Amino acid sequence: MMGELKTMIELHEEGPRIYNLYPRLVDSIDNWGKHLDRIENMGFNWVYVNPLSYTGFSGSLYAIKDYFKMNPLFAPADAEDPTSWAPLVEFIDACHARGLRFMYDLVINHTSIDSDLVQRHPEWFIWKHAVIEKSSGRIIKQFPLDAPPCSNEYPPETYKVEKRVANPQAIDPSDSRKVTTWGDLAEIDDEGSIDMLGLLEYWKKLISFYLELKMDGFRCDAAYQVPSKTWKILIDHAKGINPRVLFTGETLGCTLDQVQNVTRGGFDFIYNSSKWWDFTASWCPDQYNQFKEHAPSISFPESHDTPRLARESSSNVDYQVFRYLFAACFSAGTMMPIGYEFGFRKKLDVVRTKPSDWEPAAFDISSYIKHANKFKSKIACLNEDGPMLHENLSGGATMLLRKATKDINQYLLLIYNKDWEKPHEVSIDDMSRYLDLDAQVYQINLFLEGVPLDGNTWQKMLQPNEHVFFFQDIGRNLQIKWQGT
């Protein structure tokens, strides 16, 4: 029978537990406040909002035409000036009143292609030769200005070549012939602009403006596409105004070299790719152990860029629950978009999502998320990125994942049945192989209730999707006293 864990917690800094309030889904800013009680009650300590600036012709949140004007789409219906940021300041004040910090998307790698900046400061942008198909007007390919396309390959009767501001592109790593071009975006030259001083001053002015609005942190979109020396200047500028301002860098899909380069800019956190881990392959814990040397990271079960997990799992509530718990345990930070708690299935879209896309709840796991967040907040090793150990057990059907504090004074061991269909037995004949501190081992649950492990062996038939936690601490971060029942 479980008893109560009486704990004496030594102060440790809590990692960010981020709730993504997606603006296109929640209508105008005066409607956002009604979500704050739920966000606070679930135990989040940050509210993250995607770009709110005035957009270009496409309407994409990330195609910013004017950074200093609010997108009228989010203005209250009775606003005298629909481009004023005053309603956002009121919302941020409401966040702060609940102990929630406010994070905002900082997009400095591109603007909308119809931004006034393209005309006023063409030297801030990358320009290329664009090969345009005459019949469709579609850009087929872009070439550097010093390496123009060959007329034999693109005959003038079919194509025309023009000097145009570059559109960001992405090449499919599995098929280099598949290239995605964002035609509504203009690529900023954050590295080689002939007016870097002017460009940097513009970004400093923007960051100062955001901080005046009382923003507490930034998610830096595609951080790896901006040189670390640029980030270093901007982050130092921001921390000179507010030393507590938090910078998180989007680094999904980056190599170790890219992460090393990005984090030289001074980022407090990066984002990891654990959302795509199958709990079996070694790449994810290996990547974690490499990247943690440069910056702690943030996990998420889904994001505004991914399909909804409930759609991928056919609304499997148990899997929805576990994937959030796993994200909360895997790294120092965690993030979850609005609707995850209700099993929303429709993917968020930067152009098309609208308030009418709000869905009936397939389920409500808010209380579970609350307990997962409390669990995370109380255990030191879940709020920092210390060493991680991963092993596959039961012939690969189950897994073991151990997190430690950086000073190796605390362990949390997770054992999980990855099989959604069948139970599997786990038998460990030497628990000290994984929990070797000079301290009592406890089997604990999400409610911080537990029993001491009797002996040094453990065996259990784990049901599909079932997990078990073991905890050990030598007393420097968390002292545990067993109170029997």
pLDDT tens for 233-291 read: 999 999 999 999 999 999 988 888 999 999 999 999 999 999 999 999 999 999 999 99
Residue 443 or residue 175, greater confidence: 443
What letter does residue 151 receive in the DSSP assignment? T
pLDDT at 41 (0 to 100): 99
pLDDT at 151 (0 to 100): 83
Judge whether residue 8 has pLDDT over 50: no
pLDDT at 445 (0 to 100): 95
The burial of 421, by beta-carbon neighbours within 10 Å (0-12 exposed, 13-18 middle, 19 or more buried), is given as exposed
- Domains, the chain: 15-115+191-382 (3.20.20.80), 125-182 (no CATH), 388-483 (2.60.40.1180)
**Tens digit of pLDDT for each residue in 291-302?**
999 999 999 999
Query: How would you label 43-69 residue by residue, b for 16+ Cβ within 10 Å and e otherwise?
Result: bbbbbbbbbbbbbbebebbbbbbbbeb
**Tens digit of pLDDT for each residue in 34-75?**
999 999 999 999 999 999 999 999 999 999 999 999 999 999
pLDDT at 115 (0 to 100): 98
Judge whether residue 109 has pLDDT over 70: yes
**Tens digit of pLDDT for each residue in 145-185?**
999 998 889 999 999 999 999 998 876 655 666 777 888 99
Residue 156 or residue 6, greater confidence: 156
Average pLDDT over the chain, rounded to an integer? 94
- Residue by residue, DSSP assigns 343-407 as T--SPP-TTT--GGG----S---HHHHHHHHHHHHH-GGGSS---EEEEEEGGGTEEEEEEE-TT
By mean pLDDT, which of 131-140, 347-356, 419-428 is the weakest?
131-140
Compute CA distances 26 → 51, 74, 365, whole Å: 14, 9, 20
pLDDT at 11 (0 to 100): 56
pLDDT at 357 (0 to 100): 99
Three-class secondary structure of residue 193 per DSSP: coil
pLDDT at 12 (0 to 100): 74
